[in-house]
Structure 1
Amino acid sequence: MSSTRRTAIVAGVLFLVTEIAAMGGLALYRPVLHDTGYVLGPGADTQVFLGALCELVLALAVTGTGAALYPVLRRRNEGAAVAYVCGRLLEAAVIVIGIVCVLSVVTLRRRAEGGTSTDGASLVTAGQALVAFHDWTFLFGPNFVLGANTLVLAGLMYTSRLVPRSLSVLGLVGGAMICASATAVLFGAYEQVSVAGSLAALPVFAWEVTLAVRLLGKGFDAGTDDTAGAGARAGAGAGLGAGVL
């Protein structure tokens, strides 16, 4: 198996992991985000910890996609490849910040439960502020930055034909839509978690899942494989030598 094929498999697996971890994390720590009195209630701390673990896996997988694809992307456009890696690192960093905010709400709840703090109103206010902080990180990380990263990757794959252009176009549409949706949320057009927001995120979801399946099943398109490239160079060298003789 060539190094390019291995890269495609690793990247495909990581893209699938990002989707699974993102959905799992959001579902598991949902109580913190939607229960304004979470810090004063019985809590679901174990569930929230599992959600945070999923988010940590998500951050690692996001970083991994950038690192895994870099050797292949660099040969097509080094500047764009570096931009994609840096963008994925930024996206992962924002996700981690959001995780810390969610876990801080759990810390407040435990302090209230242990009697360390008796000012319930202040705890609720602090908890709501941390949730709001998380919501903003969710808007800028898995929306704005994700959209920008998708545009960079899909654009590079479109010009280099690493995957079918129809798939790259799906990524370009998805990246543009999620950036537009994030802008609409930023200016209060609708809530981030809403029907409109979910519909705007569907093309990016479809792009990443389809790209993952493509990379796992067929890898990059013909001509991008190291072995094929080496064979082409050898054939060119042999032809040149024959011409000289």
Structure 2
Amino acid sequence: MTDPMEGVAAAKQSPQQRRTARIAGWLMAATFVTAIGATVLYGPVLDDTAHILDAGADTRITLGALLEFFLMIGNVGTAVVMFPILRRYSETLSLSYVASRTIEATIIGIGALTLLTFVTLRNGRASLADAEGTSLDIVGQALVAIHDWTFLLGPGFCVGVNGILLGWLMYRTGLMPRGLAMLGVVGGPLIFISAIAVLFGAYEQNGLHVLFSVPEALFEASFAIYLIVKGFRPSAALA
């Protein structure tokens, strides 16, 4: 395979490309803040599905869903902002990265909708015929289970694909230090394979899977910090 960057002299980033790097970095950083924030806010529901039978405010869940909406924007935005530069190496791979990020955002949106539905049922529980709340409790468990599966498919499989694609593109273009880019090249397949293991019941999603997610998390953090602080390294992709 011929490298499209071969024979093209490396160029330093222009002021416009420096702004692009900052935007991409901040969007990636936003995905960390919103994802962690939503997980913390969802805690009462994810830890106890019987919460659907309780009284009280649902502000935490609603705010968590709002954070996931911004997470979706950050996911797709990072890929879209990087596309014009990464396509100079491979339009197919860069477009695949946009597609993977879009699919991940869609799955995250489905998960957020299940918990918003949880809130709707919880607020309307007084009008339900089942005085014991058994049926409502079962529905609550089902909605949380759907959210758990979307968490595996989105931040599991899709993030693995994201890491492979973005890691390889950043490694081949040299837009960031290749040692840092290798975290994505290695971490992407690792989290993808781990997600398959969770899917088939080898271990729990909140067990070893978290450990196998560390390299990919480090890659995305490195991507965000490096682009915000330094911008792009001199590369033929900037020419």
The TM-score normalised by the length of structure 2 is: 0.90
More helix as a share of residues: 1
CA 1:123–1:208 in structure 2 vs 1: closer, same or farther (change >3 Å)? same
Larger RCO (alpha carbons 8 Å, 6+ apart):
2
For residues 155-205 of structure 1, give each alpha carbon's deviation from its aligned partner in whole angstroms, at most 9, with x where no partner exists.
1111222211111111111111111111111011111112x1221111111
Identity of aligned pairs, percent? Answer: 46
Distance 1:139 1:78 in 2: 28
Letter in 1 for 2:231: G
TM-align CA RMSD: 1.3
| Contact in 1 for aligned 2:173/2:235 (Cα 8 Å) | no
Letter in 1 for 2:164: L
Pick from 200, 204, 222: which aligns with 2:216?
204
Q: Number of aligned pairs?
A: 224
Q: Which residue of 1 aligns with 2:109?
A: 96
Distance 2:26 2:70 in 1: 13
Distance 1:84 1:135 in 2: 24
Pick from 142, 145, 159: which aligns with 1:146?
159
Pick from 96, 99, 119: which aligns with 1:86?
99
Unaligned runs of 5+ in 1: 230-245
**How far apart are residue 32 of structure 1 and its match?**
1.1
Pick from 61, 74, 78: which aligns with 1:65?
78
Q: Which residue of 2 aligns with 1:117?
A: 128
Q: Which residue of 1 aligns with 2:225?
A: 213
Letter in 1 for 2:209: G
Distance 1:192 1:141 in 2: 13
Letter in 1 for 2:58: D
| 1:223 aligns to 2:235 (yes or no) | yes
Distance 1:79 1:213 in 2: 26
CA 1:146–1:202 in structure 2 vs 1: closer, same or farther (change >3 Å)? same
Superposed counterparts of 1:182-197, under 5 Å: 182-194=195-207, 196-197=208-209
Distance 1:55 1:108 in 2: 20
Letter in 2 for 1:221: R
Unaligned runs of 5+ in 2: 1-13
The TM-score normalised by the length of structure 1 is: 0.88
**How far apart are residue 44 of structure 1 and its match?**
4.5
CA 1:223–1:173 in structure 2 vs 1: closer, same or farther (change >3 Å)? closer
Distance 2:123 2:228 in 1: 44
**How far apart are residue 145 of structure 1 and its match?**
0.6
Greater Cα radius of gyration, structure 1 or 2: 1
Distance 2:197 2:76 in 1: 27
**How far apart are residue 148 of structure 1 and its match?**
0.4
Pick from 15, 28, 44: which aligns with 1:2?
15
